[in-house]
Chains A and B, each alone.
Chain A
Amino acid sequence: MSLLQIAEPGQSTAPHQHKLSAGIDLGTTNSLVASVRSGKAQILTDSQGNALIPSIVHFGAERTLVGTQAQELESSDPLNTLSSIKRLMGRGIEDIKQLGDNLPYQFVGDADSKVPRIKTSAGNFTAVEVSADILKVLANRARESLGGELTGVVITVPAYFDDAQRQATRDAARLADLNVFRLLNEPTAAAVAYGLDQNNDGVIAVYDLGGGTFDISILRLHKGVFEVLATGGDSALGGDDMDHAIGEWIISEAGFKNVDAFLSRKIMVAARQVKESLTNNAFTDILIENGDLTWQGQLSRIQFEELIKPLVKKTITSCRRVLRDAKLDKLEITEVVMVGGSTRVPLVSQMAGEFFDRKPMSDLDPDQVVAIGAAIQADILAGNKADDSMLLLDVLPLSLGIETMGGLSEKIISRNTAIPVARAQEFTTFKDGQTSMAIHVVQGERELVSDCRSLARFDLRGFPPMTAGAARIRVTYQVDADGLMSVKAEELTSGVQADIVVKPSYGLTDGEIEVMLKASMENAKADIAIRMLKEQQVEARRVIEAIDAALIIDGEFLLSAEEFNQIKQDRDMLEKEIETADTETLKQLIKSVEKSSETYVARRMNASVKQVLEGKQIDEVEIN
């Protein structure tokens, strides 16, 4: 098809060298995808212009729906419609019990797995698989809008996500068959979006209250370097909790007893609407209808603010803490940036503004800013901006430690340490002939292991047997730029590397992921077919566009009436079939257009070469 790339003489064909990439904001409530096109980061929308894809998946007997279509089934089929799945990423059964009463799903355990599965009529799914379904839709939107395969993506995660939650996100991307350049922290992404826009140096606080997570990060911006000084937050606090507070208020006001999954969903949907309405209104009416049950009520913004004040206060506590960690005074903060849909709640920006003693910035759409920042980073990582010297320096959000005698945690790497980072420790054997040892790695700030989050147990095996105390085992803990930890171990006197068996406390094992990958192969075949068709459709539109543009300029001038009509006929045929034809037919139709316009393309080339040469001195013409 290259012949139809009818570029004007002297014009570069640079778009061809541009590697396609995307930034993905995989949110609790909504997800977005953005990409840099013609040097500008843009949110990619659907054909109706919608930027947000609700992070909701419906598992039907026939097929899986994602986004708005799934959202429409939320109230009618609550058990098969999964939302806020991000809250379950990297979580175990016990964690979910704590979130428990808010979730209408039925969980099923699996004796061989630590990862809870949600029961639907289409089968049992982990949060990782559900997230992968959302990622696939986002990636497809990017492929269609950009017209090609993605070389890689940047996926954002809350800065406060622990290792298990990050690993789960990585696993979801693997299932969705995406090349992840990097997991980027959401506040850092927001800072990139703002920082590059404003091009100013300073210390900024990014206050990010999303649907299910809260992050507060302090960054120093200096000459294209975004250095995270400290980060903090709560990976289980967000707009969802406001909805629940309203929901509980409705249940108690209405005196509902025996709230089943259907009623519960209805109340939650109503609660969300109430919250949104109170952003601009002082009062809002509520109507709940469920079978023969009907309740009508009204909530004022003042009442609502009383309900959510404890939640917002929690975020302010985190702000105070993170300033202390960054060793900064409030006055040293030059800008406060608001990110996440929940910062639209007036009380939130009011209390954050009061704490930092300055008016928070929200120039960029708080729902879109993270995806925009991720797209900018993805574009750079794809290698499209060789001379751009942006550097993102992140930190470990929560301390890493190992379990020692008496169930205490000994910190190995403290929170807010710049990553990547590695730290080594030496151990010795305490028994004659000992050839293995076990290390339990935890994450968190508390002294007792039981108060921290268990990440994984590492079995180090295969040391040469020696007398007790003779072996010198060096264990290296490595945290990469994504904030993910790995462990390696070596016996120093013999140089023997240990075999390491990882038992993740909450994650999927490699074996489980393999099984999921195989299971999704069947679906993938269908997905690939759809993708190929979509690609041909994109190609067909591009061909038509190119032909049309050319014909207007010089079609009648360079072509006989017969030639003109032949091209026109083939072109119209292609256009007619674009939505209905299968991949192979489309391919043939595109070929016909190419064939009938071959002569035309050649004549155009000649004409343009002539044009360039005319009016130039001979010595100006480069001879290759």
Chain B
Amino acid sequence: MQMLDFKQNYFQLFGLSAEFHVDKDLLKAKQQALLAEFHPDLFVNASEQDRRLSVQQASHVNEAYQTLLNPVKRARYLLKIKGLELNDETETTSDTGFLMEQLELREQLDECRSNQDPIACCEEISGKLKSRAQQFADEFVTKFSTEQYEAARQVSRKMQFIYRIQEQVLDFQFQLEDELA
């Protein structure tokens, strides 16, 4: 079996340049081309060792794909390549305006429960979050491309917060739907 070069970073693995904007179609095409070489289905009759290797390599390809597909993970990964690691546990943002905004969003989400149409209420919040996410992504590109990495890191934290709330909204919608069903 041919082996992937695990020393390559994910952008190199997919033959993409290390920047925030990625061509999603190209990303997907490259993922599938790699899986067409390493997917465990191609090794069902192979030795135990090769089967294990194929799971490992296909997993690596999928992990790389997920990282580059998701804008928040991609931003953090770019910073990591530049030697700036983020630690979820210890780092918070000190931008009080942003903190206030987050608190408000969470409150709005709680209020959706008593709304006449809770699902529509969630979707409205999702819309707001989406445009905020876009703004921060643009800001990240500006900082990152001009090598202001520390500033880019600040922005990536905000992206992360927004992403978390987006996830919460989805989970909340999930739960609401279960309750309504």
Contact = CB atoms under 8 A, between A and B. Distances in A.
Interface of A: 152, 181-182, 225, 227, 310, 313-314, 317, 320-321, 324, 380-383, 389, 391-393, 417-423, 445-447, 478-481
Interface in B130-181: 170-171, 173-175, 177, 180-181
B59 A182 contact: no
A396 to B, nearest CB: 10
Contacts of A182: 41, 44
B58 interface: yes
B59 A446 contact: no
A152 B59 CA distance: 24
A392 B62 contact: no
B74 to A, nearest CB: 15
Contacts of A478: 55, 59
B71 interface: no
Given A313-B181, A417-B66, A445-B171, A381 B32 contact: no
Contacts of B55: 420, 478, 480-481
A421 B40 contact: no
B36 interface: yes
A383 B45 contact: yes
Contact of A321 (B39, B45, B174): B174
B9 interface: no
A389 B41 CA distance: 11
A116 B32 CA distance: 42
Contacts of A445: 171, 174
B157 to A, nearest CB: 19
B124 interface: no
A420 B62 contact: yes
A120 B10 CA distance: 56
Contacts of A324: 170, 173
B56 interface: yes
B104 to A, nearest CB: 21
Contacts of B59: 420-422, 478-479
A310 B180 CA distance: 11
Contacts of A391: 32, 35-36, 39, 41
Given A225-B32, A391-B36, A481-B39, A419 B174 contact: no
B77 interface: no
Interface residues of B, number: 26
Given A182-B41, A381-B41, 4 more contacts: A182-B44, A382-B45, A420-B40, A447-B171
B14 interface: no
Given A420-B58, A446-B175, A481 B63 contact: no
B65 interface: yes
26 contacts: A181-B41, A181-B44, A182-B41, A225-B36, A321-B174, A321-B177, A380-B41, A381-B41, A391-B36, A392-B41, A393-B32, A418-B31, A418-B65, A419-B62, A420-B59, A420-B62, A421-B62, A422-B56, A422-B63, A445-B174, A446-B171, A446-B175, A479-B59, A480-B40, A481-B41, A481-B55
Among A227, A314, A422, A447: residue with most chain B CB under 10 A: A422
Contacts of B45: 381-383
A1 to B, nearest CB: 26
A196 to B, nearest CB: 15
Given A391-B35, A421-B62, A422-B63, A152 B44 contact: yes
Among A310, A383, A418, the most chain B Cβ lie within 10 Å of the Cβ of A418
A57 B180 CA distance: 37
A381 B40 CA distance: 10
Given A418-B62, A422-B59, A317 B177 contact: yes
Contacts of B39: 391, 393, 481
B15 to A, nearest CB: 19
A477 to B, nearest CB: 10
In the complex, the 4 A-B pairs of residues with the closest C-beta atoms, listed nearest first: A422-B59, A481-B40, A418-B62, A420-B59
Nearest to B29: A222
Contacts of A479: 59
Contacts of B58: 420, 481
Interface string B33-63: 0011001110011000000000110111011
A227 B44 contact: no
Contacts of B31: 418
Contacts of A314: 181
A527 B31 CA distance: 46
A423 B73 CA distance: 14
A589 B55 CA distance: 50
A610 to B, nearest CB: 41
A382 B39 CA distance: 15
Contacts of B63: 421-423
Nearest to B123: A324
Contacts of B66: 417-418, 421
A278 B159 CA distance: 54
B124 to A, nearest CB: 15
Among B31, B36, B40, B41, max chain A CB count under 10 A is at B41
B25 to A, nearest CB: 11
Given A420-B59, A421-B59, A227 B177 contact: no
Contacts of A389: 36
A417 B31 CA distance: 13
Contacts of B65: 418
B175 to A, nearest CB: 7
A111 to B, nearest CB: 34
A334 B173 CA distance: 26
A378 to B, nearest CB: 10
Nearest to A422: B59
A225 B170 CA distance: 29
Nearest to A377: B41
Nearest to A19: B45
B41 to A, nearest CB: 6
Contacts of A446: 171, 175
Nearest to A316: B181
Contacts of A382: 45
A37 to B, nearest CB: 20
A447 B164 CA distance: 13
Contacts of A447: 171
Contacts of A417: 62, 66
A77 to B, nearest CB: 37
Nearest to A310: B181
A585 B60 CA distance: 57
Nearest to A320: B177
A125 B44 CA distance: 31
B62 to A, nearest CB: 5
A419 B173 CA distance: 25
A475 to B, nearest CB: 15
Contacts of B175: 446
A422 B40 CA distance: 14
A613 to B, nearest CB: 40
Contacts of B60: 422
